Amino acid sequence: MDKPRLGHINFINCLPLDWGLTAGDLAAGLEIQPAVPAALNKLVVAGDLDVSPVSSIVYAQNAAELVLLPGLSISAPGALQSIVVVARKPLADLDGRPVALTAKSATSHGLLKIILNKAYGVEPIYSVSPLSLAEGVLDGADAALFIGDDALFAYHNRRDGLLYYDLGAEWRKLTGGAMVYALWVANRGFAARRPDLLQLVYDKVRAGFAYGLAHLAEAAAARAGRTPLTAAQVVHYIGLLDYRLDDAHRQALTNYYRLAAELGLIPAVPALQFAAVKQ
């Protein structure tokens, strides 16, 4: 193995890490594979990536194959603009109605199902759709779930007659806590075979985040022309996120897993097992 293979989410929420790896010159020695979360989830579980961010529910579904990297997550204490439901009718009126889920994520599916069940007492008919609002996803559904840059575009370009729900805010109302959306994991086989390379990747990811957050205004200005947001909107959005994974985040994550297990979305609440890396 010449270079460890690192998955990378190509959404604005990973702009700090992206900027650290590129402008901070921290990508040397890594084979980086950018993709949407759903694709990265499959690759690292299968061992086709060594380290990657994954949807947090994917760790619960594949804990036998994965170990967590300490201190790293994509979390938010409340509203975050990038996990959004756009609906023709209020959430409380969606019982038995068709709801389209994004094809790009997994954690957000469980999040929406928990919120609709626990907070609104409704059970819609779910389906996964790759369509956008412009492509007519609401032609066949009463509501649609978007994540990432698609959600940010919808949030900042609202249409008359539609309702917009920020699931981060809805989760905060339901649980009173933060939500952990993504985790950095290593494939267990790679972690066992090459602890030296695992440490290399871990150090570079942490250093990349530190560099990118320290140069966020510069990163936002450079990327503004290639995103649906202005530079100021990017800076504000990143400020809504939290990339740490501390004791409070671990408790919030376990709470999410507990509610997901109650609805049968995961088989059981997994133990949080961390890789043996130096922090």
User: 51 and 44 in contact (C-beta within 8 Å)?
Assistant: yes
Amino acid 17: pLDDT: 97
Question: What contacts 125, CB < 8 A, 6 or more positions away?
Answer: 96, 97, 98, 99
Angle at alpha carbon of residue 129, lines to 243 and 241, rounded to 5°: 15
Six-digit token string for 93: 């009126």
Q: Find the distance separating the first CA and the last CA of the chain, reported in whole Å.
A: 24
The pair of three-digit structure tokens given for residue 189, joined into one six-digit string = 């086989």
* Per-position DSSP letters for 180-218, written without gaps between them: EEEEEEEEHHHHHH-HHHHHHHHHHHHHHHHHHHHTHHH
Task: Give the separation between CA 206 and CA 20, rounded to whole angstroms.
Answer: 9
167-175 and 247-262 are packed helices; what angle lies between their axes, rounded to 10 degrees? 90
What is the reported pLDDT for 61? Answer: 94
Half-sphere exposure of 74 (CA within 13 A, CB side): 30
Q: Return the structure tokens found at 242.
A: 């939290």
Q: Which helix (H) or strand (E) holds 253?
A: helix 247-262
Full pLDDT tens readout for the chain, 279 residues: 679 999 999 889 999 999 999 999 999 999 999 998 889 999 999 999 999 999 999 999 999 999 999 999 999 999 998 899 999 999 999 999 999 998 877 788 999 999 999 999 999 999 998 888 888 899 999 999 998 888 888 898 899 999 999 999 999 999 999 999 999 999 999 999 999 999 999 999 999 999 999 999 999 999 877 777 899 999 999 999 999 999 999 999 999 999 999 999 999 999 999 999 999
- At residue 131, the pLDDT reads 85
How confident is the model at residue 1, as a pLDDT? 61
To 10 degrees, what angle do helices 216-223 and 15-22 make? 90
Which pLDDT does position 260 carry in this prediction? 96
CB burial of residue 171 (10 Å; 0-12, 13-18, 19+): buried
Please report the pLDDT score of residue 208 as a whole number.
97
